[in-house]
């Protein structure tokens, strides 16, 4: 808890310094701001993850335990994709008949189910943006649709799109253009998957193995990654979920540090 409190206090102090700096005649460049943000992110991540992981062990250095732990050993860090049970798995190819999909034909039966949507490239044939828009129009009112994963013709991960973005932008008046940019262009050249970061998604390089150490995830996060897609044992054919450090830190810090800070301040 001490590390959580210290990191939170440093964050507050740094934020205050940044706000006051212009009035004191100190100019902070955008590059410096990014360095400050990265440093604070790493500090907050270390504090939060120490709280959730390192407290499990007795007699070990918290820092050593934290940095050497694997992501899969801290299951709460991975937001897993739906799997098994009554989950509806939609594996869509360019030649898939949209009208025959259950979510289109009988949407009422899917309303309480988790829905995992995968778009798989076939190689030579492109997805028709008009047909995909019809699919996303059917998914728009499905609360269980949260994740959209893109796989190449070999079944390997090339991209991730948040369900909320697909529901909003792949169903509007400009849907076909958006689908062409963030689906067809990515399949045409997977280097374009870097553009998925613009819509809070993840590209082919935004990945990490579930066997990777937490220290590796923190380093990637400090380098600007907002989301990391977690691959089982590092296999590109096995994306199992994602790690979103910004959400993790904001939620955990808000729950764990405020009571302690109030206590420190005598409130």
**Model pLDDT, residue 160:** 97
Q: Check residue 106 and report its DSSP letter.
A: -
The predicted structure's pLDDT at residue 174: 95
More confident call, 261 vs 208: 208
Furthest C-alpha separation in the chain: 66
Q: Which helix (H) or strand (E) holds 258?
A: helix 258-264
Supply 93's token pair.
């190819």
Q: How far apart (Å, rounded) are the C-alpha atoms in residues 213 and 251?
A: 22
Q: pLDDT value at position 63? A: 57
pTM (two decimals): 0.72
Note the pLDDT of residue 265. Answer: 36
Q: How confident is the model at residue 190 (pLDDT cuts 50, 70, 90)?
A: very high
- Report the run of H or E that residue 220 belongs to, with start and end: helix 214-222
What's the pLDDT score for residue 59? 47
Whole-number Å distance between alpha carbons of 215 and 212: 8
With 50 as the cut, is the pLDDT of residue 1 above it? no
What is the rounded distance in angstroms from the CA atom of residue 220 to the CA atom of residue 226? 9
Q: At what angle are helices 30-52 and 2-20 packed, to 10 degrees?
A: 160
Closest among 162, 220, 203, 169 to 41, alpha carbons compared: 220
Domain ranges of the chain: 2-68+250-264, 79-209
Q: Which of 76-80, 245-249, 250-254 is the least confident region?
A: 250-254
What does the mean pLDDT of the chain come to?
78
Q: What CA–CA distance (Å, rounded) separates 90 from 87?
A: 10
Res 195: pLDDT: 96
At residue 77, the pLDDT reads 80
Tokens representing 25 are: 């005649």
Beta strands in the chain (DSSP E): 79-80, 88-92, 115-120, 145-151, 157-162, 202-203, 207-209, 228-231, 239-243
Lowest mean per-residue pLDDT among 2-11, 121-130, 171-180, 219-228: 2-11
Checking if the pLDDT of 226 tops 50, the result is yes
């Amino acid at each position: 808890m001490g590390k959580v409190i210290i990191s939170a206090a440093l964050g507050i102090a740094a934020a205050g310094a940044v706000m006051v700096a212009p009035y004191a005649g100190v100019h902070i460049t955008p590059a410096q701001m990014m360095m400050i943000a990265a440093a604070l992110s790493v500090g907050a991540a270390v504090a939060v993850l120490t709280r959730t992981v390192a407290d499990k062990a007795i007699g070990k250095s918290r820092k050593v335990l934290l940095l050497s732990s694997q992501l899969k050993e801290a299951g709460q860090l991975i937001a897993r994709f739906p799997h098994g049970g009554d989950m509806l798995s939609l594996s869509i190819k360019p030649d898939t008949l949209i009208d025959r999909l259950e979510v289109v034909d009988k949407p009422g039966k899917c309303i309480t189910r988790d829905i995992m949507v995968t778009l798989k490239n076939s190689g030579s044939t492109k997805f028709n943006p008009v047909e995909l828009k019809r699919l996303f129009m059917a998914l728009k009112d499905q609360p269980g649709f949260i994740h959209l994963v893109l796989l190449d013709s070999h079944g390997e991960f090339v991209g991730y799109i948040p369900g909320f973005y697909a529901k909003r932008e792949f169903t509007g008046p400009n849907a076909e253009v958006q689908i062409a940019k963030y689906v067809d262009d990515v399949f045409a050249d997977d280097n374009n998957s870097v553009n998925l970061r613009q819509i809070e998604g993840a590209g082919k390089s935004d990945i990490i193995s579930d066997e990777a150490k937490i220290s590796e995830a923190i380093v990637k996060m400090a380098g600007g990654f907002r989301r990391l897609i977690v691959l089982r044992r590092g296999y590109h054919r096995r994306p199992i979920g994602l790690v979103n450090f910004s959400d993790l830190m904001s939620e955990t810090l808000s729950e764990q540090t405020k009571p302690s800070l109030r206590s420190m301040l005598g409130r």
